[in-house]
Structure 1
Amino acid sequence: MDRLHLMSVFVAVAEAESFAGGARKLAMSPPAVTRAIAALEERLGVKLLTRTTRYVRVTEAGQRYLDDARRVIAAADEADEAAVGINAEPRGHLTITAPVLFGRMYVMPGITDYLQRYPETTVSAMFLDRVVNMLEEGIDVGIRIGELADSSYKALRVGHVRRVICASPAYLAQHGIPQQPEDLAQHPIIVASSLSPTVEWKFMREGSPIAVRIKPRLTVTSNDAAIEAALRGTGITRLISYQIAPQLAAGELKVVLSEYEPARMPIHVLHREGRNASAKIRSFVDLIAERLRRDPSLN
């Protein structure tokens, strides 16, 4: 069998953690996928996948081969596109990641626009509230909030957001508006554990950082739940400005202690950039960057 084809089958199975899932992704029959993996392991003389009745996992050798196979496939795709020319119509599969709420609110509209513009493309969207290793997980484009660690990926800055303290106008009318961070001790606090794993909130006072220990009255596991609790007047919470942009615009929530906010957090679009940037990646990056830059809640 063709070596590049075998690599593609292995990558699909490893990413799906399933022979059946890999077969569906490649529009192949499961027996054909099984034969391809067996042929690849025989060719290499190593076991690439561990199979049980419940899952498929890559071995240590398989993980090394997976990283190399992804690079080889990406390079082959770039070579094909370079031969066709820079103005080639975007085609092929694109994998995108972003934080959950940001992905739903800001990235998904861009994805649907992209799919409508370019009918020869398909997209997998991974919306996760964790830092994804883009190379290991085969991600083409990632949207990150916050300062970036050193990376081999190209980063395009498209906006910024803030950490804000907020509550409903009805709650503030009944309980009063905190005037300084220490006043939060007198209020019931809602904490989204995914955003605030510690119970210490950081602020800036006259250019110097300060930290305030928080004793939550309500701890929830999602930002959506924290927003709902704040809307119902349960107390004061801390979120990222984009997460409550619709509620702020509608007057349903109000920001307090804005003069003590820490530094703004940048938003970046990260993507692979080989010798010849992929048309599918280049087109999506251009589209999503334009959308994010013109959104007033992000700039």
Structure 2
Amino acid sequence: MDKFQGMQLFARVVEAGSFTAAAEALGISRALASKLIQTLEESLGVRLLNRTTRRVSLTDAGRNYYQRVSEILAQLADAEAEAAELQVEPRGRMRLSAPISFSTRHLAPALSEFQRRYPRVELEVELSDRLVDLVDEGFDLAIRIGKLADSSLVARRIASACLVMVAAPGYLERAGVPKQPADLGKHNFMVYTLATRRDEVALERDGTTETTRVHGNLRVDNGDYIAAAALAGHGISVLPTFIVGEHLQRGELVRVLEEWTIPSLGIHAVYAQTRSLPAKTRVLIDFLVERFGPQPYWDCLGPQTAALDAARESAMV
């Protein structure tokens, strides 16, 4: 028996509280178990166990050694379980929490493809823009967009969410085209109420950040609603390209102050820390990373200059 097997035997003796029980669990004699532990102690140069006719107890060195050995054996068990899971088709029920607009536009077709690949995975999806408690509410995974709060959760970035300031050409023809951030204060600005910064916009250019206060007569907690209002010519707003990308490509919306940028947001898969991540969860996260990142298809924007130039010319008349 090598040193690793001796470590396993030692842990069994400690956990069972006797050489007899440990020997029976491993299918060896008590005498052999005692001799093997003695050999382990000799190789380490320390006494690990105090032995009496009635009980076995740990020495101080044995207590420290057992703590390290138990960690090593647990990690090995996890590695073996993970290796075995990789050979098994992902299966079982998985509860997923995800934001509404992103899910209906992009996650739904992605998950349909995922379940075609892995038909034995059963998905229960809750669409909500609120931050659910994964542990208390029994979710296996959540998709979250934006800056993540410090927590014990594990997060993996699956894509980026580029933010752009947009308006309909018709609105800009009526209200004028902003030429600098300060001009936004003269416009009807639609506010997304779940954003971290609701009544101001931080714009960056050439390493400089300019923050502008904005106001308007519409405040909504749903990005699709704001996009629909923008398409109707209601005003200006900041929205992610995963919502307005196609409208920008078709010229139905145009970017405002295009030479200025807005810091993008991360789209993350978030899950509770666990010693061994289930195969179905790990495979889904890998699938989403492959599908969406690192350059999401919704960021492949077409030219905007023609529609914006037309709006500028009309506003100057």
Q: TM-score, normalised by structure 1?
A: 0.65
**Residue in 2 aligned with 1:125?**
125
Give the match's secondary structure for 1:260.
Answer: coil
3-state SS, counterpart of residue 184 of structure 1: helix
- Aligned positions of 1:77-226 closer than 5 A: 85-195=85-195, 198-226=198-226
Are residues 274 and 189 of structure 1, via their aligned partners in 2, closer, same or farther at CA, if it must alter by over 3 Å? closer
Distance, in Å, in 2 between the alignment partners of 1:80 and 1:91 is: 19
Unaligned runs of 5+ in 1: 1-77
Specify the code of the residue in structure 1 equivalent to 2:157: R
SS in 2 for 1:116: helix
- With over 3 angstroms needed to count, the CA separation of the structure-2 counterparts of 1:80 and 1:205, relative to structure 1, is closer
Q: How far 1:80 moved relative to its partner?
A: 11
Structure 1 letter corresponding to 2:98:
A
Instruction: For 1:291, give the aligned amino acid.
Output: R
Answer yes or no: is the 8 Å Cα contact 1:162–1:261 preserved in 2. no
Count of aligned pairs between the two proteins = 222
Equivalent position SS for 2:268: strand
Q: More deviation in 203-212 or 171-180?
A: 203-212
- 1:255 Cα deviation (Å)? 1.0
SS of 1:263's equivalent?
strand
Deviation string for 1:122-147 (max 9, x for gaps)? 11112221222222222222222223
Q: Does the residue aligned with 1:265 lie in a helix, a strand or coil? A: strand
Structure with the greater alpha carbon radius of gyration: 2
- Tell me the CA shift for residue 154 of structure 1: 3.4
- How far apart, CA to CA, are the structure 2 residues paired with 1:123 and 1:155? 20
Question: Structure 1 residue 196: deviation in Å?
Answer: 6.9
Q: Which runs of 4+ in 1 moved over 4 A?
A: 78-84
Tell me, yes or no, if the aligned pair for 2:246 and 2:298 is still in contact at 8 Å.
Answer: no
Aligned partner letter, 1:258: E
**Change beyond 3 A, Cα 1:221–1:275:** closer
SS of match in other structure, 1:258: coil
Aligned partners of 1:99 and 1:129 also within 8 Å: yes
Which residue is equivalent to 2:278?
278
Deviation at 1:118, TM superposition (A): 2.2
Q: Classify the secondary structure of the residue corresponding to 1:133.
A: coil
Amino acid paired to 1:216: G
- Amino acid aligned to 1:207: G
Alignment deviations for residues 77-114 of structure 1 (CA, whole Å, 9 cap, x no partner): x8996595421111111111222101111211122222
Q: Measure, in 2, the Cα distance between the counterparts of 1:190 and 1:234.
A: 8
Aligned twin of 1:73: none
1:272 is displaced (CA, Å) by: 4.5
Distance 1:209 1:252 in 2: 28
* Cα distance between partner residues in 1 of 2:83 and 2:161: 41
Distance (whole Å) between structure 2 residues aligned to residue 85 and residue 164 of structure 1: 42
Question: 1:83, 1:230 → 2: CA distance?
Answer: 51
Separation of aligned partners in 2, 1:258 and 1:281: 39
Do the aligned partners of residues 131 and 114 (structure 1) sit closer, same or farther apart at CA in structure 2, a change above 3 Å counting? same
Matched residues in 2 for 1:263 and 1:83: separation? Answer: 40
State the 1:253 CA deviation.
0.6
2 CA distance for matches of 1:273 and 1:215? Answer: 41
The range that moved more, 254-263 or 225-234, is 254-263
Once the two structures are aligned, what percentage of the paired residues are identical? 33
* SS in structure 2 at match of 1:162: strand
Find the aligned partners of 1:274 and 1:249 in 2 and give their Cα distance: 42
Task: Specify the SS of the correspondent of 2:129.
Answer: coil
Moved more, 110-119 or 227-236: 110-119
Distance in 2 (CA, whole Å) between partners of 1:107 and 1:241 is 15
SS at match of 2:86: coil
- 2:236 counterpart residue number: 236
Partner of 1:269, secondary structure, is strand
Does the C-alpha gap of structure 1 residues 220 and 149 become closer, same or farther in structure 2, counting only changes over 3 Å?
Answer: closer
Secondary structure of the corresponding residue to residue 101 of structure 1: helix
Match of 2:15 in 1: none
8 Å CA contact 2:85–2:279 kept in 1: the answer is: no
